[in-house]
A and B are shown apart, each in its own frame.
Chain A
Amino acid sequence: MSGPGDASAAAQHHVPDYRYHTLVVTVENKSGVLARLAALFSRRGFNIESLAVAPTDDDRFSRVTVVVDLESAPLEQIIKQLDKLVNVVNIRELHPGHAVERELMIVTVAAGPDRRDELVEQLDRAGGKVLSVGADAMMLSLVGPPSRVDEFEELLGQYGIIELQRTGRVALANLDEAD
């Protein structure tokens, strides 16, 4: 999806079979832009699942990775309304299954010395890292596809999660699918 021009393309937009869809939105790096995006989502009743913002290699622009809930609105309408924001420079739609998606979780888990080995083993299997170790707790991190992060978070329930932070997902198109 490129500029505002593509009505005919948008009209033939494929009907997505996934409820959540990832949009990568390039915006001008100006104050208030995030508020404009957020206000648009709330005013038009578009639900968002996650949102991540970061600068790009060009300091005039930032990149927003937003996961939208298609049960709240058709993707085509969401894209077209976003495109109307003057500070939105480009919108790229990442088809689920055709993109690399990652999310970072850091979490403090209740785990005394007796359960540590078991926890570390599970962590290794998931590909996570130990960030620090306390008397009765461990702080861990995991980077992975959002579904794997979900699974691991669920697994940690049995230990007791003391504090948890997730970044929301960021994504790029698969190398062979970049348009």
Chain B
Amino acid sequence: MKMDGGQALIRALELEGVDVLFGLPGGAILPVYDPIIDSSIRHILVRHEQGAGHMAEGYAHATGRPGVAMVTSGPGATNIVTPLCDAHLDSVPMVVITGQVPYAAIGTDAFQECDTTGITQSVTKHNFLVSDAQDIPRTIKEAFHIATTGRPGPVLVDIPKDIVDPDNPRSAMEWTDDVEMDLPGYTPRTDVDPVAIAAAADLIRAAERPVLYVGGGILKARAAEVLRQLAELTGIHVVTTLMARGAFPDSHDLCLGMPGMHGNFTAVTAMQESDLLIALGARFDDRVTGRLDGFAQGAKIIHVDIDAAELGKVRRPDVAILGDCRVAIEALVADLASNGTGGADRDAWRSRVSGWQERFPLSYEQAQAGDELKPQMVIERLRDATPDDTIVASGVGQHQMWASQYWSFDHPYTWINSGGLGTMGFSIPAAIGAKAGCPDKMVWAIDGDGCFQMTAQELVTATVEKIPIKVALLNNSYLGMVRQWQEMFYDERYSEVFLSKDVPDYKAWAESMGCVAMRVDSPEEVDVAIAKANEVDDRPVVIDFRVAAAEKVYPMVPSGASNSELVVPPSQQDQPR
């Protein structure tokens, strides 16, 4: 069938099952925006291309399907570099289509030309510059295949204008339904080596202080179910990293919660003291390990990852298992079920763990009458007043850590955040993307005032496109996380961290963007405001919670320190460790 490249592009996206496309048009991508009018794909017009990228990420996190964004050349492309890098570090499947100047004009510094594939090379899993209209369907197929298989990640496809412009003869192409991919260098491996599985099972049977160290890869592998089987079969405790919150229920007896720089004492210390860490889809990130030479020194390591380059990159494993986490865990469960879980005596270990849990629960100082609102308390109230499977998308900063700590995640794919890149401004667009993908779920963004000011304009998108997300703005008037570091490590010398108590007027701003908006100053107003927000279902809601600025995130491993030097809140500092 004869077609032009623009029609072929949209057709190829439809064939990949794309139902939502986040984007913003411009000169170079214009011809592709025409066939969108006739397509079944829903296009969501963003207000800034960074928003399109984070929406695609939020969509992917929540649904497991690749998020797709489309933007124009030059500034459109550079505006989406941050989301690409974000998706790259957090292994989020995403396909970004960028317009490009006509093929013959590439290299001439044409209007709105930039070297998009060059700029994005190191922040994508792969990228393509398509030179012929005929190659469009194959390239799109390859892009989705690469984005969603192996270790997922972002793939960018750069499309010169002439090959999609029906007025240009270079756009003519012949559509055929089955194009073959041509990727001789891409062969991700998912099956696992049975010898390594047997060796891992032996280590597990023998371990007296084992810990399951679970990372975001578990969610990417859709392995939460089998993880639970493994934990329950063996009785081994589980820590879920910032990227894996929800992969194992917080309410489960074996769940120790989040490890790392702001992890809870038990999760951090159990890893430190363990004799076997079973790392599943986790990458020994510096925010988890603290100072590397002081990390879990007595532990043997089983490391399961689909990316060979992660095995041994940071910490040399005793048993390396390359492959899909779900396949690996299923094989481990089978081995342990048939050959037994071993007779290691773990009673002493269990009582140490429960002792830590009793002495060092997550805690903050409760507000006294007349005190300012506590941000942690707002999160607890929100948690208790929303459905169990509410999706929470957070920004980056103190509010992110409190959300991860004080929310109770009992379902996979309900926690969406920017872990690897730590991108301020992530939450609002990510929440919009999640809600676009899961319209029947309640979606709350937990945001900071600094973050809010980076991407709030996407609330206009949410209003216009009728995507009713809710935003809990934990407004402390500060770049709070940076303030905390200055307080603790720079002798309380506060440099450029105070935002403002007066401007912007968040309520008025949110209302001007079409949201229902409230401002909450005192503890008594919290529940009422949340209840009111939960009732709104036809437009976005923003609650400006004015919270105490002096509050700090505890526990904390100071940067560069070993995890054994975890700083606990003042109320716990006299407890025996």
Contact = CB atoms under 8 A, between A and B. Distances in A.
Most chain-B CB neighbours within 10 Å: which of A11, A27, A60, A90?
Answer: A11
Given A7-B322, A39-B121, A43-B122, A87 B309 contact: no
A8 interface: yes
A92 to B, nearest CB: 14
Contact of B185 (A6, A43, A81, A87): A87
A101 interface: no
Given A5-B322, A32-B117, A83-B308, A77 B187 contact: no
Chain A contact patch, size range: 20 to 34
A77 B118 CA distance: 23
Given A35-B118, A87-B185, A8 B320 contact: yes
B311 A86 contact: no
Nearest to A82: B309
A61 to B, nearest CB: 8
Interface string B160-204: 000000000000000000000001111111000101100000000
A4 B184 contact: no
A88 B121 contact: no
Contacts of B320: 7-8, 11
A7 B311 contact: yes
Among all A-B residue pairs, the 6 with the closest Cβ atoms: A7-B322, A80-B309, A89-B185, A86-B126, A5-B189, A86-B186
Contact of B184 (A7, A8, A28): A28
B313 A77 contact: yes
Interface of B: 117-118, 121-122, 125-126, 129, 146, 183-189, 193, 195-196, 307-309, 311-313, 316-317, 320-322
A81 B189 CA distance: 15
A102 B188 CA distance: 34
Contacts, number: 69
Given A6-B308, A77-B312, A87-B185, 9 more contacts: A5-B187, A5-B308, A7-B311, A11-B311, A11-B316, A39-B121, A39-B122, A86-B186, A90-B185
Nearest to A74: B312
A4 B189 contact: yes
A99 to B, nearest CB: 23
B185 A8 contact: no
B309 A77 contact: yes
A36 B128 CA distance: 12
A88 B185 contact: yes
29 contacts: A3-B187, A3-B189, A4-B187, A5-B187, A7-B311, A7-B320, A7-B321, A8-B320, A8-B322, A10-B312, A11-B312, A11-B316, A11-B317, A11-B320, A27-B185, A32-B117, A36-B121, A39-B121, A39-B122, A43-B122, A60-B184, A77-B312, A81-B309, A83-B308, A83-B309, A84-B309, A86-B126, A88-B185, A89-B184
